[in-house]
Amino acid sequence: MASILLAPSPPSLRHTFLKSNRHILQQTTKKSISFTCQSIRDNADDGYLLDAPVSAGDGFSFSGGKYSDGPNPADEWFKKGKYMKAHPVYGTGEKAKDPIFGLAMGGSSQASTDVFRWFCVESGNVDKPSVILIHGFPSQAYSYRKVLPMLSKDYHAVAFDWLGFGYSDKPQPKYGFDYTLDEFVSALESVIDELGVNKVSLVVQGYFAPIVVKYASNHQEKLNDLILLNPPLTAKHANLPSTLSIFSNFLLGEIFSQDPLRASDKALTSCGPYKMKEDDAMVYRRPYLTSGSSGFALNAITRAMKKELKKYVEEMRKILMDDDWKVKTSICWGQRDRWLDFDGVEDFCKASKHRLAELPMAGHHVQEDSGEELGSIIAGLISRKVRN
């Protein structure tokens, strides 16, 4: 297995809303991400603190209320993870600038200069069959927090944050990574190679499914199983919902992507029955609260999806229907998905002879709505005979 760098725990996050509306961020080391927000007046009485119910504070939308200096669920999740380095950084090596004003971004908004850092969480024994859990758009590895323990007994499970999401690097477009779907395919190949597994089962949710299928089509010999969670399977599915497509709009998209309640909370709760607990919201909001790079990456990914998703969905359908496709494939579908209609899904599975597992109480983000149930289903679907 490749060596993975242990990420130090970030200090408690504090935030003061300055008149300039700008965060002053510090990054303590080059190889680790440390989230430290400072204010000009640390003892000011008008400071806003992060990540608590609005009822506890003033309801300022970009902070989500007030949060004490006590333990933060985002910190606890961060402690469970590690950093690995995969996929080379291309470009001139210049310092990234924000896309609106062209100002140099702070240290915490700059990506690596040589190889990108990916945040991942592992569970289980490395000698057991490997399962890689790949989150959807927009989400984080945190979405698999209930699935990982379900797989830890019989498998070596790894969940990672894509570039641009969670605690992985968030390079600005034109500064090493442009977030095209082809680049994501190449990046996934780098990650799997870095993990050093000979055979692996892949689980992927939502709009990143076509990217993973394209990778898998070129590396069938590496795959034991492929499990798709609410993937975009029909032509209708290739159109992003308005909740996401708004981030592709010029200027308005940049503004909305800097609001964690729009970029995180609304994106997670508008696509199904999921009722997000505040502790979970803290984890999902954290990247958007610590750096503008998360929002700008969201803009770039949304624009790439709007431009390329239709072609990728068509290609995915052809791959999965092709007689040369030999990977055992299953589709798990949350029936209460408000973004992707179930019409056509059952017919596709019958025509392609892929197994369909339905979760009646889950929405688009299946692992959020029915994590334990999904974990049991995945464990039952994955082949146990083939070792790494």
pLDDT tens by residue, 139-156: 999 999 999 999 998 999
pLDDT, tens digit, for every residue of 73-117?
A: 899 999 999 999 999 887 666 777 766 667 776 665 666 678 999
What would the mean pLDDT of 277-294 be, rounded to a whole number? 90
pLDDT at residue 91 in the model:
66
297 vs 257: CA distance, rounded Å: 9
pTM of the shown model = 0.80
